[in-house]
Amino acid sequence: MRAQLEPSFILHSRPYHESSVLLEAFSREHGRIGLVARGARGARSRWKNMLQPFRPLLLSWTQRGELGTLTDADQVAAPPALAGEPLFCALYGNELLVRFLQRSDPHAGLFDQYRRMLAELADGRAAQPILRLFEYHVLSAAGFGLQLEHDSVSGQEIRPDAWYLYQPESGPVLRGRENGPADELVSGAALLALKSGVIGEQHLRELKNLMRKLIRYYLGDRVINSQQLFS
């Protein structure tokens, strides 16, 4: 398989053999891909300092097995200005993609969401609503889409004024505030806000607890290392 000038981002890189780099990249038409950039760490490499996270790139590669071989790379725009909390959030987004997406499984819509997330973080917008929405899109792309419109037991529409216990394999179940720990419950209003893509500050704590619960459930023992950067 040969890919030419694919819009892509580098998610992670590490040294490989004497002068090469092993890349995890996210491309719009081919999804997450593993690539070897041969000689990329050499003093005369045309890719030196280019193959970095968050830089909008056009990548070309050939692939016969699980790993492809990078054949060309061009940076097509300046990288977003990320520092401090926005940088940590972007690193977290990269790790989510590596953890949840299978290689060679295209997700063009998620690629566009990722590019939008980077732009919004660089613009200085509130980070937490951006992350909740991105987590939601990642889970959906990975086959773990959330049920946000109906009670999974009764089938009734979610009520904004009610409280729910969200069960990962089925969805929200109606509960009273007295029927569970506060951190385990999420309001119908918060679920509907996540569905709409417009998250108010009053729902951030509930949705953060919900998404952490779901991500822990689906990842099992695998740790999100970038979360530790926040602490």
pLDDT class of 225 with cuts at 50, 70, 90: confident
User: Which one has a higher pLDDT value, 213 or 183?
Assistant: 213
pLDDT class of 112 with cuts at 50, 70, 90: very high
67 lies in a domain? Answer: yes
User: Three-state secondary structure along 54-94?
Assistant: CCCEEEEEEECCCEEEEEEEEECCCCCCCCCHHHHHHHHHH
Cα–Cα distances (Å) from 130 to 2, 5, 90, 135, in that order, read 34, 29, 10, 9
- Tokens representing 20? 């090469």
Q: What is the mean pLDDT of residues 90-94?
A: 96
Confidence at residue 110, expressed as pLDDT on a 0 to 100 scale: 98
Rounded mean pLDDT of the chain? 93
29 lies in a domain? Answer: yes
Please write the tens of the pLDDT for every residue from 128-139: 999 999 999 999
58 lies in a domain? Answer: yes
Number of domains in the chain: 1
User: Which one has a higher pLDDT value, 220 or 58?
Assistant: 58
Q: Which residue has the tokens 């041969």?
A: 38
Rounded to whole angstroms, the Cα distance separating 131 from 142 reads 16
63 lies in a domain? Answer: yes
pLDDT class of 178 with cuts at 50, 70, 90: low
Question: Domain range spanning residue 53?
Answer: 2-75
CATH code for position 50: 2.40.50.140
pLDDT class of 48 with cuts at 50, 70, 90: confident
Confidence at residue 6, expressed as pLDDT on a 0 to 100 scale: 97
* Residue 186, beta-bridge partner list: 164
Q: By percentage, how much of the chain surpasses pLDDT 70?
A: 95
Q: What is the mean pLDDT of residues 43-61?
A: 93
Q: What is the mean pLDDT of residues 54-66?
A: 94
Whether the model pTM is above 0.85:
yes
Confidence at residue 227, expressed as pLDDT on a 0 to 100 scale: 66
Cα–Cα distances (Å) from 79 to 11, 83, 114, in that order, read 13, 12, 13
Confidence at residue 221, expressed as pLDDT on a 0 to 100 scale: 77
134 lies in a domain? Answer: no
Q: What is the mean pLDDT of residues 88-109?
A: 95
- 31-37 and 67-75: which strand pairing? parallel
Q: By percentage, how much of the chain surpasses pLDDT 90?
A: 84
49 lies in a domain? Answer: yes
192 lies in a domain? Answer: no
Own/partner pairs, 79-84, CB within 8 angstroms, 24+ separation: 79/52, 79/54, 79/55, 80/54, 80/118, 80/119, 80/121, 80/122, 81/122, 82/54, 82/118, 82/121, 82/122
Confidence at residue 144, expressed as pLDDT on a 0 to 100 scale: 96
224 lies in a domain? Answer: no
> Looking at the predicted structure, is the pLDDT value of residue 69 above 90?
yes
CB 53 within 8 A of CB 12: yes
In the chain, the amino acid numbered 111 is: F
